[in-house]
Amino acid sequence: MADKPTHSAPKARLAKGFRDIEADEIRGLKQMLGMIEEVFELYGFDPVEQPLVEYTDALGKFLPDEDRPGEGVFSFQDDDGQWLSLRYDLTAPLARYVAENYDRLPKPYRSYRHGWVFRNEKPGPGRYRQFMQFDADTVGAASPAADAEVCMMAADALERLGIPRGQYVMKVSNRKVLDGVMETIGLSGPDHEATRMTWFRAIDKLDRLGRAGVAQLLGKGRKDESGDFTKGAGLSDLQIERSLAFATATEFSARSVEGTRIGAEGAAELEEMQKIFAAAGYGEDRIRFDSSVVRGLAYYTGPVFEAELLFQASNEEGQLVRFGSVGGGGRYDDLVSRFRGEKVPATGFSIGVSRLYTALNHLGRLQAARAGGPVVVLVMDRSRLPEYQRMVVELRNAGIRAELYLGLSGLKAQMKYADRRGASLAVIQGDDERARGEVQIKDLAAGARAAEIIGSRDAWREQRPAQISVPQTKLVETIRGWFGSRQT
């Protein structure tokens, strides 16, 4: 039910499941996105962006079959009665764009974009209703060479971000191979759809539950530590054995799909990708087959891949766990085709930006993104504000980040302000200094954060006191010298 509208003072509160992003994160993200872009550009990908709002039917997947579109997306009606939705990923809008502009685009068409997407879901810890994705896609290339390229590009991007080789892996599998495996164990066809879903969910838990746990989930079922029982897929021992043989193999074996046409196709695609990786010098330490990649199978039609970070980090419960997936993708040949009634093959990769940002922060890769605090010129005499302003302008003209204290408070509060701002230096000119044509420059030793960043400050302080007076004409020169010394 709708809240009754009130006209009293509104409460200042974020909408449920949304969040604000503050300076350090914005600067870090900017740095991170820039590095990824660099790699994508090197690969010949061009940027293109779609709007955040699309017709609901153009987004697909969540087609309205009732008066209100399905759950999972935020939707609203236009004044002419058509349903609009906030995009829930970047792929569906791209498919719409390519289909709409097909004739004038180069084919194959390589593109990249990052942007906000929205999910109308129950928010949880670290799960927001607005989050950012960074996608790259090649549309119009049926060759596994296009899939291989996307994998190599993702690996290069991770290395460009400073994730050492061996600390990440691009895991590759193929939807057709999985279909082949299903066929060999007798689970193909529409009758077994529910069982296949149970199968995929079980295999996806290999990392966490191990062979024995997954075998239970594939068989009669499994009781977890809390005593909850999960019903199993009901497979025979032979089916379970073949499933686990496939799912735990470190190398792909064509035997797992023996005798199935779809499986052979998938195996050939894997092999073609493998040849390209080898020729291009991307060994198993960077990209390798992994049968556990079973993501989004309703969607992908061929190769599937996942970027996994291998180092350990604390999870929300404080346990050390492998960092895990920061993105994934695969071939989705039906998404553009459904608009055009002709085959338009496509493949792509999507990075979960927040997750990757958390990983880079964990590795300490984004510290340089912190901006230096400004120089703050304090206001000792409000009637001389224009003069203080002029000092600030002189500093800025010399390329020094500087600001005038703009509040109405006294010296103590101004010093506290400078500290909160992470300021490195404060400039002070009271009546006495002014009479002598001087300014005081105060090294804000109190700023604990500043101390972390400026390693060489001690050296500077040895030579000079924490507070010095210089002729006003030497203000810029002195401060420039100070910043120069802190860089060495």
Here the tokens at position 274 are: 């493998």
Alpha carbon distance 38, 280 (integer Å): 20
The first and second tokens of residue 237, run together, are 């021992």
Question: Of the listed pieces 89-97, 234-242, 256-264, 447-455, which binds a second copy according to CB under 8 A?
Answer: 89-97
Torsion of CA 125, 129, 132, 138, to 10 degrees: 120
Could you say which of 32, 134, 140, 290 contacts a second copy (CB under 8 A)? 140
The piece of 11-19, 309-317, 435-443, 448-456 that touches a second copy (CB under 8 A) is: 11-19
Backbone angles phi, psi at 480, to 5 degrees: -60, -40
Q: What tokens does 199 get?
A: 């199968």
**Whole-Å CA distances, 473 to 6, 353, 397, 469, 477:** 59, 48, 14, 11, 8
Given 100, 207, 237, 452, the residue binding a second copy (CB under 8 A)? 100
Q: How far is the CB of 354 from a second copy (least distance, A)?
A: 13
Joined tokens for residue 257: 């799909």
Considering the complex, state which of residue 131 and residue 200 has its C-beta at the smaller distance from a second copy: 131
In a 3-state reduction of DSSP, which class is residue 229?
strand
For a second copy, the closer of residues 102 and 460 by Cβ is 102
- Phi, psi values for residue 21, rounded to 5°: -120, 130
Q: Is residue 380 a contact partner of residue 415, using CB atoms and an 8 Å limit? A: no
Tokens matching residue 156: 């290069």
| CB contact at 8 A, 419 and 446 | yes
Name which of residues 151 to 180 contact a second copy (CB under 8 A): 152, 156
Determine which residue in the list 31, 35, 89, 143 makes contact with a second copy, applying CB under 8 A.
143
End-to-end C-alpha distance for the chain, whole angstroms: 63
From the list 16, 208, 318, 320, which residue makes contact with a second copy (rule: CB under 8 A)?
16
Does the footprint of a second copy cover residue 57 (CB under 8 A)? yes
Whichever of 199 and 349 has its CB closer to a second copy, that residue is 349
Touching a second copy, residues 107-126 (CB under 8 A): 107-108, 110, 116, 118, 120
Tokens standing for residue 322: 């492998």
Site for a second copy in 296-325 (CB under 8 A): none
Q: Does 12 bind a second copy (CB under 8 A)?
A: yes
H helical segments located in 333-474? 334-340, 353-363, 385-397, 411-420, 431-435, 448-453, 457-463
Q: Let me know: does 472 contact 437? Beta carbons within 8 Å.
A: yes
- Does position 352 interact with a second copy (CB under 8 A)? The reply is no
Options 246-254, 255-263, 321-329, 393-401: segment touching a second copy (CB under 8 A): 393-401
Considering the complex, state which of residue 106 and residue 465 has its C-beta at the smaller distance from a second copy. 106
Q: Does 51 bind a second copy (CB under 8 A)?
A: yes
Please tell me whether residue 404 binds a second copy under the rule CB under 8 A.
Answer: yes
Residue 35 φ then ψ, to 5°: -70, -40
- Per CB under 8 A, which region of 80-88, 205-213, 217-225, 232-240 contacts a second copy? 80-88
Q: Give the nearest distance from C-beta 167 to a second copy in angstroms.
A: 21
Task: Out of 141, 218, 287, 359, point to the residue binding a second copy (CB under 8 A).
Answer: 141
* 487: nearest Cα among 422, 424, 434: 424
Q: Which residues pair with residue 354 across a beta bridge? A: none
Cα separation, 51 vs 49, whole angstroms: 7
- Could you check whether the bond before residue 106 is cis, i.e. omega within 30 degrees of 0? no
Where in 193-252 is the site for a second copy (CB under 8 A)?
none
What is the rounded CA–CA span in Å between residue 73 and residue 52?
Answer: 12
276 binds a second copy (CB under 8 A): yes
Binding residue (CB under 8 A) for a second copy from 35, 48, 249, 313: 48
Q: Which of residues 251-270 bind a second copy (CB under 8 A)?
A: none
The answer to whether residue 72 forms part of the interface with a second copy (CB under 8 A) is no
Q: Is 127 in the site for a second copy (CB under 8 A)?
A: no
Identify the residue among 338, 436, 449, 474 touching a second copy (CB under 8 A): 338
Closest CB to a second copy among 148 and 244? 148
Per CB under 8 A, the list member of 36, 88, 96, 286 interacting with a second copy is: 96
- Residue 452 CB, shortest distance to a second copy, in Å, is 18
Instruction: For a second copy, give the closer residue by CB, 359 or 375.
Output: 375
